[in-house]
A and B are shown apart, each in its own frame.
Chain A
Amino acid sequence: MTNVDLVRLAGSRGRISDAPTADLVTAEVIRGGMETVCFEMAEYVSRTATTPILNQSNERNATVLDAQGRLAALSVGIPQFMLTSTLPVRFALEFLGVDEFREGDVFVANDPYHGGGHLPDYNVFAPVFASDAAAPGGRRMVLIASIQCHHGDTGGGVPGGYNITANDIWGEGVRWPVVKVLDRGVERRDVLYALQANNRIPSYIGDLRAQIGSAQLGAQRLGELIERYGVDAMEESVDYMIDYAARRFREEVAQWPDGEYEADSYVDHDPLGNPDIHLHVKVTVAGDELTIDFTGTDTRNELQSWSTFGNTRGYTVGQIAAMMDPEIPKNEGFFEQIKLIVPKGCLLNPEPGKPVSAGTHHPGADVGEVIAKAMQYVLPDRAVPQTYKTGIPTIIVGVDPRTGASFTDHSAEVYSGWCNASKGMDAWGALNASFGNLWKATAEINESLYPHVQWSRDYRTDGGGPGEWRGICGSHYQKEVLVDAKVYTYVVGMKYPMPGICGGSDGSPNEMIIRYGSDDEFKVRHTADWVPIHAGERIMYDYGGGGGWGDPLVRDPQAVLDDVLDEYVSVAGASRDYGVVLEGSLEELTLEVDEVGTHALRERMRAERA
């Protein structure tokens, strides 16, 4: 069995230039140029890909790496996915050797155990060459352009890449550690054909070609940049940018109080129903050094959902980035400052071969939660968990009477959930900031595509975790299917909802019921394994709310009154959760805060707590 040491692969690479670094203006100009190239690469995919997930919902990242595989610049779709860029490239550099990287080459990789996230995430990358008199042949590789996209299928036992009962990675899809699809500018038809043959979706190969075109465009544009500023200035600028991010990172950490901060988080169960999946973290701040240690995390061999080291690192960095100055450039200098300890064999760094399609999300996403929990009293104003409790999407299959063809509805519709409050701000919108680049479908899009009616996605009154600042209310979601169909999904966040932070209360839990309102309701306990639903019946999903921040008993009573008028909070919830007594009628808009009653109730509630 192949066994690549991902921890070593992720390790620090040295600077390129010994020379004094570029002047800061040149470095800034080159940084802007590289970020523009990343944007152009991502835009190219949007314009030329055919699948909505790529040309509409922004599940793509474009990055520029140096010749050692250090991340220099990027244009991000979803922060947590950005790190799947570097490791597959580094694997290719080590496995094939630098000599196999030739001008005009393009590579494809997707394997989690060779640096990827999960199998549907395909990474396509191309070396950038420039003239260098000292190099053999007068040309050498200076940079690497890389573009990652989530595809709608990747072979394997279940369409769509989420085979959540697979025993191993091979059951989840086809693995491509690295293959060369263009050799010095010439297509390798055999390889492209093999890629095409191992995917269910006819448009897959066209989308992959869009990625290949994007990588070529990136290589060409970066080549022009190098031509303009010279190889030395380019490499010195990359060093400058990486050094700058590293310095800024350490300056931020230096401001954090020294100490060891620990926390635990749990996922309800894996898709097989194994309960109480445990994450443990110890965050150590020592001067300007940050160590994140997941020792103590679950190691049960029978579990189904695992997160590879690369995936774990991605969610770790995503969370740390959300707790720092948002303007620090996200490059290698930022990432390599985090000393990450993840024992081999634990849920967050499995032995090769374990299944990962469910684990990419859980326990993957929960990494952000446990770090935020550990840091809540240290960084109270930044500890907002950048996570979600999706399980996997709700997949509905059936036959559409309008076309006579079978359909697969991934329920990729907008809903609200799991967004915590932050200090000084109630949660807003649908999801956490990290997922703000998503652009999900709506009723008027999907009802013409699939036989269903979306009756509701409104906020649930009292769904948000109470606090001095309130968490987001999750959506009350109802979808009526218009044909007999079957439902496949995995639900978490029922036993362990979003945690409150700094004394805030937890958000409301998830709850999902298939055949909702019928005599034969099916409440999802952990998975729905192709559960039948009949025409005219509904799926109900109460998406969990976000946790609150701080003590709800100190929330401004006027803010509670406003929440009641807006029906984020009920009159009963105001007194139960916030100790705020309201007089008058909500219906008649005559509600007012009973100051005396509120004071008395809050005193009583405080006394009961003590």
Chain B
Amino acid sequence: MGFRVGVDVGGTFTDLICVTPTGEIILDKTPTTLDDQSTGVMNGLEQLAGHFGIELDAFCRDLDILVHGTTTADNTMIEMNGAPTGLLVTEGHRDEIELRRCHKEEIWDPNYPGPIPIARRRARIPIPERMNFEGQPLLALDEDAVRRGVQRLKKLGVRSIAVMYLFSFVNPAHERRTREIIREEFPDVEHISLSHEVMPRGPEFERVSTTLVNAYVAPRIATYTQNLQDKLRRAGYLGPLLIMQSTGGVMPPDYVSRRAVTLLASGPTGGVMGATVAARKAGIGDFVAIDMGGTSFDICLVRHGRPEIKTDWNWRYRYYIGLPMVDVQSVGAGGGSIARVRQGALLVGPESAGSTPGPACYGRGGTQPSVTDADAVLGYLPVDGFAGGRMHLDLPAARTAITEHVAKPLGIEITDAAWGIERIVNSNMANATRKVLAGHGADPRDLALIAFGGNGAVHAVAIARELGVARIIVPKAAPAFSALGVLVADYVVDLVRSYVTPLSQVDLGRVRDLLTDLLQEVDKELDPTGVAPADVKRDLFAQMCYPGQNFDMSVPVPEGVALDEPGLLDLAERFHDQHLAERGFCFRSQQPLMRGVRVIARGTTPKPDHLAETGALADASQAQRGTRPAYWGDGFVDTPVFDGARLGEGAAVQGPALIEEPYTVVVLPPDATATLDGLGNYVVSA
């Protein structure tokens, strides 16, 4: 067995986790190269090779697998610089994308601008055609209109085309014929997204939004993954490149570039998958994962070892993504969040100093006070030796920023100002967490907290105390946890076929045919990963809802369950039960609709037996580096500082204390205790 590497590209750093042939875990970071992320990835691999004193090509030859979390799709949507995109759409429904079902983000602000269009109205071509809700054509496809429309889009400079016809997920004939015509009229079009393939369900706003985003980002994803693959091949790596999706699974570039939209928000998902593995090893089933980085705070609820999946209300960059995603919610709170006094109120975030200029104490020209500056002023961060010894903190700059922008305007002392920033950002993060839990009806007191990201370890105990959480896990790999997460994630293929009909009228032969098709397609998609068939678990579902509902519920159809008449009655009962359990009510007198069938295939990947290397000292006192004054709410206290790298399994540290890791600090306020387990996690009691 060779090396296995997980890479996660963040806004500032590209994080790497390498599992060596002997099972050792190496964590590394390299600056992200924003113009072409693949350069940073290759730099990181070279750095890793350096760890082992070998050349890049030797390392690549010994590399078994490379798993990648990329923000290319997210960056495309942030910068709105995707491919010039056009839309062919059912006549009469040209403007669904602008109407947005009436939704506007800022209800108090009539001057808040609309989203930047992916396809302006001139590039949205109305096509006469129409299916009814049962998939019967009410109006034939006007093929000449399609041809004229495609010519017009060519003239407009469009490179990527989305097609969204009403009820195409019930009967895709018109969309499929349209693709043939586009290929005839525009052979070198870079990409075509058919709505029934991108999102095989209604309603039309959600589908057109998802399809447009897919068409907009797909060409860039294809270019990027091709580019990275070429570089890896040239460096001698012949194994699979796997990419993290927002469903929590990884798949090869060919699969993901056809579903480019599933890469959105996949970065935070990596961290959640890592947390899931860490929790499973620690015997924890129900927890909330929090990832506090430089600009954002990501939250995900995990129950019974599975991240909650969100099937609706997934907005990303002002567009609706109508596909299931791991329910990771972000708020603007991170180390770089800026504190300011506005009209007499102290606010922290969502504006961020980002990585440039960054917090004032980074000494890169930032003058606004950030959360990291408050952390520094309160004594939590090491002035020397931060970021693996590569970064020195400019404490006077942090003090000046807080004094000028918070303490003076409010007429308070600098320590009170820093403590105020701390309390407000912690309460913002706790409230955001509570809101996510409320969406799932979960009580934080029943959960553990797993904290990671560059700043998760610094704020974990304070957030946990706000939430009433007693048990916290801080992995030693926290600063590169997304990289670890992508490495341990499984292959996931998730395919749906639409078939809309009342349950009583289901044609069982058709259902069996659809499932057979789906299972064959699953095998085809998994083939390039090389995963052994024995390692693949296939779950079949019926997609069901009550008439008029907006969403489908996936009701498991265990293999071996007979799909016959009694089987259908049983399916209806299980749908009612599941609806009651998940949504709090059901209508047993109503006949559910079948909306389609779904297969989720999961190919398991090998998992490392521990998540970080630990030191040798079981007696924490031997790893104490000294003390430094830190503030805990009532004057500065001389606080012991420990060298995390030397702490061994079973080492226990009593707060107040600071445990310094190469890229972060575990902050333990008075009365908190931390014990290092054998897997590489600090188990903290708040």
- Contact residues of A with B, CB < 8 Å? 24-25, 28-29, 32-33, 35-36, 39-40, 43-44, 47-48, 50, 52, 56, 76, 78-79, 206, 210, 244, 247-248, 251, 321-322, 325-327, 330, 381-382, 384, 386, 414-416, 422-425, 428-449, 453-459, 475, 478, 565-568, 589
Contact = CB atoms under 8 A, between A and B. Distances in A.
B283 interface: no
A33 B102 contact: no
Interface in B48-102: 91-96, 98-102
Interface stretch (B114-122, B474-482, B596-604, B641-649): B114-122
Contacts of A50: 585, 587
A438 B102 CA distance: 6
A449 B345 contact: no
Contacts of A210: 584
A384 B110 CA distance: 7
Contacts of B100: 429-430
B102 A436 contact: yes
Interface residues on B, range: 35 or more
Contacts of B342: 327
Interface string B409-433: 0100000000110011001100100
A445 B548 contact: yes
A429 B166 contact: no
A436 B101 contact: no
A16 B594 CA distance: 57
Contact of B345 (A24, A52, A444, A454): A24
A458 B93 contact: yes
Contacts of A330: 108
Contacts of B343: 248, 251, 325
A384 B156 CA distance: 34
B108 A444 contact: no
A330 B91 CA distance: 42
A386 B110 contact: yes
B438 A40 contact: yes
A568 B121 CA distance: 9
Given A431-B102, A566-B121, A24 B107 contact: no
Given A416-B95, A456-B92, A458-B95, 19 more contacts: A25-B420, A28-B427, A39-B438, A43-B438, A76-B107, A79-B108, A326-B108, A384-B111, A429-B114, A432-B110, A436-B104, A444-B166, A444-B202, A445-B550, A447-B133, A448-B500, A449-B547, A455-B130, A457-B92
B109 interface: yes
Nearest to B342: A327
B104 A455 contact: no
Given A248-B343, A444-B203, A458-B92, A33 B110 contact: no
A244 B343 CA distance: 9
Q: Which of A79, A251, A381, A565 has the most CB of B within 10 A?
A: A565
Nearest to A329: B345
Contacts of B203: 441-445
Nearest to A587: B152
A496 to B, nearest CB: 21
A374 B410 CA distance: 38
Contact of B427 (A29, A76, A206): A29
Q: Which of B99, B126, B205, B424 has the most CB of A within 10 A?
A: B99
A317 B161 CA distance: 45
18 contacts: A24-B410, A330-B108, A381-B111, A382-B110, A414-B101, A429-B102, A430-B102, A433-B109, A435-B102, A436-B106, A445-B548, A453-B130, A453-B138, A457-B96, A457-B99, A459-B98, A566-B121, A589-B156
Interface string B358-385: 0000000000000000000000000000
A222 to B, nearest CB: 13
A434 B107 contact: yes
Interface in B439-470: 439, 441
B132 interface: yes
A447 B155 CA distance: 36
Contacts of A52: 548
A32 B550 contact: no
A28 B424 contact: yes
Given A414-B205, A445-B202, A453-B138, A433 B420 contact: no
Nearest to A428: B114
A49 to B, nearest CB: 8
A48 B122 contact: no
A443 B114 contact: no
Nearest to B545: A448
A447 B132 contact: yes
A447 B205 CA distance: 15
Contacts of A381: 111
A442 B101 contact: yes
A444 B133 contact: yes
B60 to A, nearest CB: 49
Contacts of A445: 202-203, 548, 550
B79 to A, nearest CB: 21
B617 interface: no
Contacts of B120: 566
B497 to A, nearest CB: 17
A47 B441 contact: yes
Contacts of A478: 92
In the A-B complex, the 6 residue pairs with the smallest Cβ-Cβ separation, listed nearest first, are: A436-B104, A428-B114, A444-B202, A456-B92, A566-B121, A384-B110
A421 B105 CA distance: 17
B390 interface: no
A32 B428 contact: yes
A467 to B, nearest CB: 15
B550 A56 contact: yes
Contacts of A457: 92-93, 95-96, 99
A60 to B, nearest CB: 14
A425 B102 contact: no
Nearest to A446: B548
Given A40-B434, A40-B438, A440 B101 contact: yes
A382 B111 CA distance: 8
Contacts of A459: 95, 98, 121
Nearest to A322: B110
B204 A442 contact: yes
Contacts of B553: none
Contacts of A444: 133, 166-167, 202-204
A326 B438 CA distance: 26
Q: Which of A321, A322, A414, A425 has the most CB of B within 10 A?
A: A414
B346 interface: yes
